[in-house]
Structure formats: C-alpha cells, structure tokens
Structure 1
C-alpha cells in the first residue's frame, strides 16, 4: 500500500526578512514547515533561501498598508506570524498605519482563512504611554485580540543577536569615539533577550505548544541598566571609553534634530520611550506569561555577545583574550 505523504503546514511570516524574522524563518524551516515570507521587498530576501531546503521558503510581496496584498499573502496558510514594526516614521510608514491598522489587517486576513495567529509586539507597549511607538503597539495588540481572541502575543524586551541594532551600533561607535552617551544617565533598565530564544518561542506557538489568548512578556535572565549594558559590551570588545551622561532635556533636543534625518540614530519618541524601564512585569511573572511557561531557559548576554562582537576588538579574532 502506497504511503500518502502529508503536506507540511504552510506558515506566512510578515516581516520575515528582518532581524527577528530571519531567525523565526530558520526555526520554522528546521521543523519542516513550508514558509511564505511576506515582505515589501522580496528581491531583498534572498538571504533566507539557505535557511531551508530547495523550495521550502518563498518570498512574496506584501505591504500592511495595502489590504489586498495582505489577503493574498495568507491564502491557504495554516498559521500567520506578524513581526512587522518600525522604530521611527518615514514617508508613508507611520506608527499607526503599520503597528495598529496593519496589525488589524493581518488579524482579519488570518481569521478569514481560519489560520492561527502569532503577533510580535514589544515590552513597554502601553495605550497610556507618551510614546507614539508604545501606544500604537498596545493598540495593535488590542486589535489582534478583538479579531482573533486565541492569538498568541509576544512582548520581548530589547532583542540582541548577530544582526542587532543595539550592541552592534554602540560597539561600532566605540571603535571611533572616545566617549559613549548615556541618555538620562543610563539608569533605564532592560532585560536583553537573545533573538534565538524569541524565535524558538514563536515557533512553539506554531507548534500549538503555547496557550493562546494571552500576552507573553519575554525577557532574558538578567536585568541590566543602560550603563551596565555599555560596560558589558566594552568589556567584551576590550575597549575603554568614557561613559557620559546626557540629561533628558538635551537628549530630547538631539532626538528632535536627528529625527529629521532619513535614517535617524535617535528620535524624540525614542527618548520618551527610554524614560520607562523595559523589563518583564510582576503581573506577567505571577500569571505565568513568561519564558518559563513556554518551557524555555533564555540565554545570557555573556554567553552570546562574544560570538559576534569580537569583530569590534582592536585585534579582532586574533585577540589574546581567553574566554571562560
């Protein structure tokens, strides 16, 4: 009797070509899923092909601001993942359009085809926040749960990994600048989380191993201030730099000026966001909405950072440093 092979589950990933997205695509491909990556520029998603077998990963054009492209991208999908988000506004890419209206569009499209939904948000999402980024993230969560009540929502703290725009940016700055700025004195607390751990959590939601209808807060095993993050980074790249405190007022002014650039290093909204600690809440810990509930033990920055920040050391890979 001929065995009938079951077609692998099809998963559509919006924002799959981005930093977190590429790691999610890898985790899904390893599980044998067919992956459809919905992105505004599929011609720039070629780096995803080696993550799976031939024909397993397909990039399609989609824009959250264009509803018909969203509907087309989720056709026949069994599960939908939305990882689209922006850190600053530019052109037609506005916070509300992408993170609120766009989130609802993806949720409605997933509901229409009967697909499961995993939504990527951010720790600090708050409808009452003075930050537009944080407010629209919270409104996006509300739209998702209103549309797909059993959706899984993840709020990671600052995410680090080989392609991150946090540790890489400051490590590169330390190569040329004798000082590094500490906005607001560097007292803001973070709970850095490894991108691989976030990707695994998302993949487990596709595996139906995570209870839906909840907002999970994902933070690493350490709570560090901005200053401590910089000190840890400098120790790893073996450079000594002066850490200079920048008052909130001056930082806001700098953000307003830099925010006018096409790709700003800092915006006034980001400065506002930095006024609030970015750590897992006591409520999430108490209610079991963390990594522990998902069955994952997140990795520390000391374990991961040396694996990709070595290139910022004075001698690069030829350093005499002996890792523990």
Structure 2
C-alpha cells in the first residue's frame, strides 16, 4: 500500500511517499480502507520535532531518537472497514467509519488496522468522508479544554484564534453548550466565524480585545499564542483561561467521539475545510499548515 513516512525530523521534505506492507487485522482489530485524513498541528510538531528545551530528551526518548518510531503520521481519518478480526463484534465489513488513532498515528496511508475498542464510530450517512475526518482532532481538543474551563450555559466565552481547526469547533461547541461566544480572528475570517454561530467577532488586526471593556467568563486560546497575563484584564471575576499552547495533552474520550458523531448527524456542527490535497501532495500540505494561516482543517484525500 502507499503511505507517507517521516524519514527523519526536519522540514516537510523529510516526508516520503513509499510502498509499505498492507496491515492485516488481528483478532480484535478492524482493517480500515482510509478515504480521508488531515494534517494537524500535532503532525507538524512531530515532524519538525518542536519541543520545549527541558522536554527535548524525554520527548526524543518517547517519540524516537533520530526519527519518529511511528513514521506514518496522521491522527484522524475516515473510511470503510474492509475486513474484521475473528473476535470483532461492533463492526462489519463495509461499515463507513471515522476514527482517531492517538499516539498510534498511522492515518497518512491507504490502510490502517485499529482495535475495535478504539476511538472508532460509524460515520453519519449524510456526512462526507472529508467532513468526518476533520472534526475529531479539533472537536475532542475543544471539548477537553471547554470542560477544563467549566463551560456552562449563559457564560460569555471568547475564542482567541477562532478560525483554526480547534477554534472553529470551539465556537460551535461553546454555542451548543449555551454560551454567548465572541470569536477573535483576522479580517478575512470574520464572516466565516459569524457563520459558525459566533455572537460577536473581533478583528485582532484592528482591535485589542483586552481594551474593549468586555469581560469573559472563559477565554479559550485555541492557537497557543496568548497568555493568561495578557488576558487578565478581559477576564471576569473567577473567570477561566484555557490554552492549547501548554504541555497539557487533550484527553481523547469515546464519549466525546460519540457526542461529535451525534452533533454531526444532527447538523449542529460542521468542519471547515480550507484546502484538500492527496497523499502525493503531503509535502505541500505540511508546508501550508506550517505557515499558520489555514482556516479550519487541511484534508488529505486518499484515493
């Protein structure tokens, strides 16, 4: 099968399209023919090996010394189950599913075998493979940090970086939980963020949100580019500041996958897809994501 391998840590050019052995499902696994996957900020961090100085050695020991131990990156996908192991009961061949792989990675390929008890769910019938593949990373991250900030109905929530993968899902999920949402983004993304349900939008290139006099019950930094100290003036008494920019890793829970499945099926959330590439264009896709200007997700179609 075709797969994109990260042959060493470095720039996008270290990614190589290669032929590798097609996996066979074990007794408790399903074999998924991947139809779509994404390039996330996490893929960029692994490939470029971006780590705080104090964590450099521990991270190398965990991920691999000179190159990733799991050379096929990619953490979310959608596709069709081609075969199942002898002990699998949740799924059958032909099921259309979407899934997260976590630290197993492996989604930048034509096939992947995953445990049936993993983060796999049936794809809503009316949802495209591309849409299904691009909600789990951003959605589970948004849910983790919204819970950390103790999201409640009636709160005023500001999403800083509202146009990215995590930000676009955070706007929609905060609205689902009953919050009044303000999205902060650049000029070109204001209308998109409004269309996702934001009650207000702030153009950070023209206005400093900390100087508006508005106070928020939660400020959600969806891009890791601000700090609690900077946001202090805009926090209400007892308000929460949460950020994806620290060392905390969002927990990936099956209950969150099932919630996202439900909301997708009901049309209450959607993914924003900026650009679509193929496996053969993976270097270009990484280059585009790395420039930090994408809207929503960058999808890889696996033809």
Give the TM interval when normalised to the shorter protein.
Answer: 0.3 to 0.5
Q: TM-score, normalised by structure 2?
A: 0.32
Q: TM-score, normalised by structure 1?
A: 0.31
Query: Which protein has greater RCO, CA pairs closer than 8 Å, 6+ apart?
Result: 2
Considering only CA atoms, is the larger Rg found in Structure 1 or Structure 2? Answer: 1
Structure richer in strand, relative to its length: 2
